[in-house]
Amino acid sequence: MEKGSNHAKIIFHIDMNAFFCSVACIKNPELRGKAFAIGRENSTKGVLSTASYEARKYGIHSAMPQNEAMKLLPGLIIIQPNFNDYKYYHHKFVDLIKEYTDLIEVASIDELYADMTEASKKRHPLVIAKEIQERLLGEYKLPCSIGIAPTLFLAKMGSDIKKPLGVTVIRKREVSKILYPLSVSDIFGIGKKTWPRLIENGIKTIGDFMDINNKDKIIDLIGINSYEYATNAINGKSSDVVEPNRYADSKSISESETYDIPKVLIEDCALELRKMIRSVVNKMKKYKYFTKTVTITLRDSTFNTITRQRSLNEYTDDLIYINDIAMELLEDNFIDGKDYRLLGIGVSNLLTKEELPLEHNLFNISDKLEKENEINKMIKEFQSKYGDKALFIKKNEK
């Protein structure tokens, strides 16, 4: 991909276009060309999972309250989700890509990353991409968009640029030309509560975000961790490793919970995650691990799963710090009105005290342990008087 380099990876991000709607059209061809959405039939409650491209012309979109969508288009057709069908076509999609490479990382039911570096030594990546598009459409009637880039982040950005049935190549040297004109809201990983603050403060495009003159303003708005992660990723300085077993890494600790009665309030999700965080941190301390990556997982009643992670500035086993990062990720990615049936929290990039970089010397570690021991002592004393849930949820928390 990168001129003058023999080491750049060729990563595909393959994103199915309006996947649930595409599957609905396969099962009911009469829906093709019509404005419809996936939601609750014979109801005005809940939120939409997705909408056909015809419905999107009216401003209807995923995560929109169903009653609001019906006001925009009173004749909107609502189709009940069919999870068995989605799973069936998901497996067809994945199996087809496996014909090209074994290095596949499934991101959700309708998207995946594929390392096509080896396959591209024999055939041009654009030829492969077009063939994949044509086969998915011809064999299964599933349209998709594909981003091709040297990193996972840039490939993901590329697949979002042209929908439906787009193919976008992003080379590092072309980032400013392709990405800078886009809205700052298009930066993958920037939360729905973060980008409006940026726009309100004059950071409207990715070019504005990357302008060094705006650095201090942006850090004040979103923090240095988010700023450094995003700027590095946009510049092509992020992972180029497709890991089929990313979440099966033995050097990670995670917990998740599936709920028969879904969680619909952010307060309830926060409470559940905080319980898991304490358990995860206790396991870290048991095995004397320190982490540099915190991950949360949210899965709604339509089986749409999102996984968001944050890299930390330093290795830590600090309960309060890990909890704060997880709560920031939850706040940025929680969607009001959705029914969440699975929540999860994980830590990875784990090192023991002996494996830590030199700057994490024993004096620093001792200070942190002493501080946290005092905090944990105070929490236990407080909870012994007021109950286990005390201190882990605030009445005014949004």
Distance CA(291)–CA(155), nearest Å, equals 27
Closest CA to 210 of 240, 233, 239, 192: 233
Q: CB neighbours of 365 closer than 8 A, spacing ≥ 6?
A: 353, 356
CATH of domain 180-234: 1.10.150
Reported as a single tens digit per residue, the pLDDT across 262-299 is 899 999 999 999 999 999 999 998 888 999 899 999 99
pLDDT at 251: 74
In whole angstroms, how far apart are CA 253 and each of 289, 321, 333? 10, 16, 22
- Name the active-site residue from 54, 111, 272, 328: 111
The string of DSSP codes covering 160-181 is TTSTTT-EEE--GGGHHHHHTT
Closest CA to 334 of 293, 298, 294: 298
Longest dimension (CA), the chain: 69
Question: Annotated catalytic, 111?
Answer: yes
CATH of domain 246-386: 3.30.1490.100
**Span 80-89, mean pLDDT?**
91
**Span 65-74, mean pLDDT?**
93
Closest CA to 18 of 36, 44, 3: 36
- DSSP E strands: which ranges in the chain? 11-16, 36-38, 50-51, 77-79, 104-108, 111-115, 144-149, 167-169, 253-263, 289-300, 305-316, 340-348, 351-352
Architecture of domain 1-172: 2-Layer Sandwich (3.30)
pLDDT at 301: 81
What's the burial of 177, exposed, middle or buried (CB within 10 Å: 0-12/13-18/19+)? exposed
Closest CA to 269 of 322, 344, 321: 344
In whole angstroms, how far apart are CA 144 and each of 121, 288, 352, 385? 23, 45, 43, 56
pLDDT at 378: 66
pLDDT at 68: 93
pLDDT at 236: 95
- pLDDT value at 7 more than 90: no
CB 305 within 8 A of CB 343: no
Is the pTM higher than 0.95? no
Reported as a single tens digit per residue, the pLDDT across 163-193 is 999 999 999 999 999 999 999 999 998 877 7
- Side-chain-side CA neighbours of 125 within 13 Å: the count stands at 26
Reported as a single tens digit per residue, the pLDDT across 108-159 is 889 999 999 999 999 999 999 999 999 999 999 999 999 999 999 999 999 9
The residues that bridge with 169 in the sheet, in sequence order, are: 148
**Span 347-369, mean pLDDT?**
61
Single-letter amino acid, residue 185: S
CB 145 within 8 A of CB 163: yes
Would you kindly state where each structural domain of the chain is located, as residue ranges? 1-172, 180-234, 246-386
Higher pLDDT, 259 or 178: 178
Residues in the chain: 398
pLDDT at 174: 96
The residues that bridge with 258 in the sheet, in sequence order, are: 342
Question: Is residue 259 helix, strand or coil?
Answer: strand
Provide the mean pLDDT of the chain.
87
What's the burial of 319, exposed, middle or buried (CB within 10 Å: 0-12/13-18/19+)? buried
pLDDT at 3: 42
Single-letter amino acid, residue 333: N
pLDDT at 209: 98
- pLDDT value at 395 more than 70: no
Task: Give the lowest-confidence range in 93-97, 211-215, 277-281, 391-395.
Answer: 391-395
Distance CA(184)–CA(196), nearest Å, equals 9
User: Terminal CA-to-CA distance of the chain, rounded, Å?
Assistant: 44
CB atoms within 10 A of CB 331: 17
